[in-house]
Amino acid sequence: MLARCTRVSVSANVYLRLPGHKDEVEYEDGDEDETGHHLNIWDVDIDSHVNKDKLLNCLTSQDAASQIFLKRELGVPIKVTVEPGDLVLLCAQRPHSVAGFEEEGALRISYQTFISYSGLGQNLVIDS
C-alpha cells in the first residue's frame, strides 16, 4: 500500500509513563478503561459517510462541538492497550484519541514525532 502513496505522514508515539500503571495498582473488573492505558483508533471509511464534508471539517478541528459530533458519528473505537515503553505508529490522518484519566496528580508522558514517507527509494524523514 505504501508503494502507491506519494506522501504519508505517520505519528510515532513512545509511551514513557502512564497514570496508575498496572504495576502500581490493582484493578477491579472493568476498571482498566478509566486508567488512561489505551489509545482509541477509529476504523473509518470517510467515503461511506453521508455527511462527509462536516466529518472532514471536524477531523481538523479541536473545538468541543466538533469532538462531540465525531464521537457520535464515528461510533465505537478500536481500543489499543499501551504500556510504558510501547511505540505506536499510526496514520496521522486517522481519527484517534487517548483515554482520559481522573487520578489527581497522575501523568501520561510520551514522546511524539512524525515520520514522512515519500515513495519507494526515498529516505524516511523524521519531522521535527
| Per-residue confidence in pLDDT tens, the chain, 128 aa | 444 556 788 899 999 988 876 544 444 444 444 455 788 888 876 666 667 777 777 777 778 888 888 878 888 888 888 999 999 998 877 788 887 777 777 788 899 999 998 888 989 999 86
Q: Which domain holds residue 6?
A: 2-42+77-127
Structural domains counted in the chain = 1
Does 91 map to a domain? yes
Q: What is the per-residue pLDDT for 88?
A: 92
Q: Does residue 6 sit within a domain?
A: yes
Domain for residue 48, yes or no?
no
Instruction: Evaluate whether residue 60 is within a structural domain.
Output: no
Nearest of 84, 80, 89, 81 to residue 113 by alpha carbon: 89
Task: Render 24-62 in DSSP notation, one character per residue.
Answer: T-PPPTTGGGGTT-EEEE----GGG-TTHHHHHHHHT--
What is the phi-psi region of residue 79: left when phi exceeds 0, alpha when psi lies from -120 to 50, beta otherwise?
Answer: beta
Query: Residue 67 falls within a domain, yes or no?
Result: no
pLDDT in the model for residue 13 = 92
- Determine, yes or no, domain membership for 31: yes
* CA 76/CA 47 separation, integer angstroms: 18
